[in-house]
Structure 1
Amino acid sequence: MHYICVEIGHLLTHQSLTPLKSTIELENMKFYAYHGCYREEQTVGNQFTVSVGLETNSCNAVVTDNLKDALNYQQAYEIVKKEMAKPSHLLEHLAGRILDALFREFELLESAWVKVSKMNPPMGGKMDCVSVTLSKNRRDA
């Protein structure tokens, strides 16, 4: 059953209508990690930033003000941190692992995107970063 939250005076309640969607974004999380195809990247490492967007129905959390009814973004950070600690050759593989882990952990998660950026990549030219962004919907899985 889907809900939309309705305010009655100062009391929040819910009615069976449409979902109250929210996107929780964890932006520019910073990690030092060992991802890449080149030996130097795997031994010396590099700086990375990761951003994620997590879409969920937040009606119950809005009504109850209880963490058990919400998508816990501290847990989401810990999932990203854990995946960043496992070396990958490709940013695509890393981003896919992060998405899969988030969907495994959070039943409330309806869709998500993840952007992984390698800062100052060893490409023979000057640039801030190279990034890969992947997205996934639970209904498409």
Structure 2
Amino acid sequence: MSNPNRTEDKIVLADLAFYGYHGVMQAENDLGQRFRIDLECGVDLSKSGQSDEVEDTISYDQIFNLVNERVTQTRFKLIEALGQHIIDGLFETFTTIEWVKVRVRKPEAPIPVVAGEFAVEMVRDREQA
């Protein structure tokens, strides 16, 4: 992240699970699979920390609803494109978000692995989006 003055405060949503239809292989598009999302949104939380008012922050419920819609209502071949779609929606919807870090995990990728998962992690400042 290029802005040295950016806030270190963040709203974190971790290990969210969704069912979606993303992938290159036809079976992934036909059958779907689980996806896990880890998300950090850089937001100055000083005002809400002092006021204790939800109006002074971004509700994690609103963030969750946006991510849920982005994962379940669209289809992508690449989880990179899904990650960018989530980031774009967060910046478009919540003007106080300064930066976003999203990890899209695909625990059931059609690769013969006994344990583990495959993922991408993307970090964007608002200016980069």
Tell me whether the two structures share a fold, i.e. TM-score over 0.5: yes
Compare CA radii of gyration and give the structure with the larger one. Answer: 1
Compared CA separation, residues 58 and 84, structure 1 to 2 (3 A): same
1:59 to partner: Cα distance: 1.4
Among 87, 106, 119, the residue aligned to 1:131: 119
Which runs of 5 or more residues in structure 1 are unaligned?
Answer: 1-17
Q: Hey, what's the Cα distance between the residues in 2 that align with 1:105 and 1:57?
A: 16
Cα deviation digits, residues 12-70 of structure 1 (max 9, x gap)? xxxxxx98741111000001111100110001111110010011111111122111110
Q: Which has the higher strand share?
A: 1
Q: Which has the higher helix share?
A: 2
* TM-score normalized by the length of structure 2: 0.89
Conserved? CA contact 2:7–2:98, under 8 Å: no
Give the alignment of 1:1-141 within 5 angstroms: 21-85=8-72, 86-141=74-129
Over aligned residue pairs, what C-alpha RMSD do you find?
1.7
- If asked which structure has higher relative contact order (CA below 8 Å, sep 6+), I would say 2
Q: Hey, what's the Cα distance between the residues in 1 that align with 2:49 and 2:7?
A: 9
Aligned residues: 124
Equivalent in the alignment of 1:12: none
Letter paired with 1:135 = V
